[in-house]
């Protein structure tokens, strides 16, 4: 067996592997598309239940993610200064998270705002509203015959 025969055999093996990979990728895309269509059909057939479910799910996710969401907004400089006067974007760790949630809640409780609890409620309510709105928008379409 020559070196060229070895390279030719390796090339055939690579070609066969790539063809199998592409075929599997096509199958995944088809299944994901089918699943997305099934979800859209379900939402259109049950718009109220889907809206409630989406609002509950996205609200729950937003509740869990509220500290991270607030900290991201704070570190991006979107929330101004903490009640101490320090720019929230210069803070790190727990101080960043706490100051960001308090800023979203209208300021620290000591300064007359709603504090971190209200900030968490703002993030949760926004997440629920976005999820419910998206489901309502999908559900407002007409079901294809």
H helix or E strand, kind and range, residue 128: helix 115-139
Q: Say which residue the tokens 């991006």 belong to.
A: 76
CA 104/CA 107 separation, integer angstroms: 7
Query: In the prediction, which pLDDT does 96 show?
Result: 96
Q: What angle do CA 70, 120, 117 make, to 5 degrees?
A: 125
Half-sphere exposure of 47 (CA within 13 A, CB side): 11
Each residue's pLDDT, cut to its tens digit, for the chain (145 residues) gives 777 777 788 888 888 888 888 888 888 888 888 888 888 888 888 888 888 888 999 999 999 999 999 999 999 999 999 999 999 999 999 999 999 999 999 999 999 999 999 999 999 999 999 999 988 888 776 555 4
Q: Where are the domains of the chain?
A: 1-45, 47-145
Query: In the prediction, which pLDDT does 145 show?
Result: 45
- Predicted structure pTM score: 0.66
Residues 6+ apart with CB under 8 A from 102: 82, 83, 108, 109, 113, 115, 116, 119
Contact 91, 99 (CB under 8 A): yes
């Amino acid at each position: 067996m020559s070196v060229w025969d070895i390279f030719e055999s390796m090339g055939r093996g690579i070609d066969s592997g790539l063809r199998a990979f592409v075929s599997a990728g096509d199958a995944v895309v088809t299944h994901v598309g089918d699943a997305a269509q099934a979800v859209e059909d379900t939402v259109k057939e049950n718009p109220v239940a889907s809206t409630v479910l989406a609002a509950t799910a996205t609200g729950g996710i937003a509740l869990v993610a509220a500290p991270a969401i607030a900290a991201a907004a704070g570190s991006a400089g979107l929330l101004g200064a903490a009640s101490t006067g320090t720019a929230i974007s210069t803070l790190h760790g727990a101080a960043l998270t706490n100051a960001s949630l308090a800023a979203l809640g209208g300021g620290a409780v000591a300064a007359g705002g709603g504090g971190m609890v209200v900030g968490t409620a703002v993030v949760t309510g926004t997440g629920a509203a976005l999820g419910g709105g998206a489901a309502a928008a999908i559900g407002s379409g007409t079901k294809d015959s």
